[in-house]
């Protein structure tokens, strides 16, 4: 007679069901277990009166998350490394020696169970979607490129896309001495300022000052002009 398959013939490791794939890493599927002890040298956790391997409704597997509470020194969240027997498992992270407390289990994020080929990807070498997303998130620190990287981009200056009130002042000879970009007409906070120095009627130097969001000086660029007759032949620019 041909014998059919039973639950004991099938390992839970062979399947990833819908609740596991939908998990956000906060989905508790087992709770209230008593902890006998944890051992730092072996990273083992021993539980009481459970069947984490042989009970089909209480199976724990590697990468599941175990949360310990009320222990004498090992409270925290750990990742299951291996299931040793019905009451014993090991964890990936370092764990202190302790006794007592309770244990609960969560499924890891479902995205950690979806494979990924990192070949040709610049920002990750991960082989699952969850870790790849972590790598990508880390690669966009600060919401994208850094301020230093942004400065190197060949783009139009920001003043084109800002609301402001511009003030022009004049010095001797009716020559422009400053061009100040204020946040509003109330002239409480400067955005940018250009200061001009002259040799006769020619601009010999201009200083552009950029202010930050608090109104403090952020950056200064000094431009020095060289002439041949009445024509500018070169400009030396220094950032500070």
160-187: pLDDT as tens digits: 667 889 999 999 889 999 999 998 999 9
Above 60 in pLDDT, residue 7? Answer: no
77-116: pLDDT as tens digits: 999 999 999 999 999 999 999 999 999 999 888 788 788 8
Question: How does residue 38 score in pLDDT terms, banded at 50, 70 and 90?
Answer: very high
| pTM exceeds cut of 0.85 | no
Above 70 in pLDDT, residue 153? Answer: no
The beta-strand segments (E) located in 28-116 are: 28-39, 44-48, 65-69, 76-85, 88-91, 98-99, 102-106
All residues at 6 or more sequence positions from 183 whose CB lies less than 8 Å from its CB, including other chains: 164, 165, 189, 190, 191
CA diameter of the chain:
113
pLDDT of residue 9: 57
Question: How does residue 11 score in pLDDT terms, banded at 50, 70 and 90?
Answer: low
Domain 162-239 classification at class level: mainly beta
Q: What integer is the mean pLDDT of 197-210?
A: 92
CATH architecture for segment(s) 28-110: Beta Barrel (2.40)
User: Closest Cα partner for 62 from 43, 84, 32, 40?
Assistant: 84
For the chain, what are the domain ranges?
28-110, 162-239
Above 90 in pLDDT, residue 121? Answer: no
């Amino acid at each position: 007679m041909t014998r059919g398959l039973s639950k004991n013939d099938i390992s839970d490791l062979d399947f990833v069901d819908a609740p596991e794939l939908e998990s956000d890493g906060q989905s508790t599927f087992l709770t209230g277990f008593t902890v006998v002890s944890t051992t730092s040298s072996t990273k083992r956790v021993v539980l009481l009166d459970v069947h984490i391997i042989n009970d089909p409704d209480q199976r724990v597997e590697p990468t599941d998350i175990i949360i310990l509470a009320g222990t004498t020194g090992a409270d925290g969240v750990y990742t299951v490394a291996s299931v040793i027997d019905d009451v014993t498992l090991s964890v990936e992270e370092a764990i202190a020696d302790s006794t007592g407390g309770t244990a609960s289990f969560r499924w890891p994020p479902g995205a950690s169970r979806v494979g990924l080929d990192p070949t040709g990807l610049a920002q990750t070498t991960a082989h699952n979607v969850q870790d790849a997303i972590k790598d990508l998130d880390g690669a966009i620190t600060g919401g994208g490129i850094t301020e230093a990287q942004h400065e190197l981009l060949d783009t139009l200056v920001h003043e084109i896309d800002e609301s402001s009130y511009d003030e022009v002042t004049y010095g001797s000879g009716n020559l422009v001495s400053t061009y100040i970009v204020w946040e509003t007409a109330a002239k409480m906070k400067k955005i940018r300022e250009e200061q001009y120095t002259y040799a006769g009627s020619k601009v010999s130097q201009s200083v552009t000052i950029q202010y930050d969001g608090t109104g403090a000086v952020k950056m200064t660029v000094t431009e020095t002009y060289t002439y041949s007759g009445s024509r500018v032949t070169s400009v030396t620019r220094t950032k500070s």
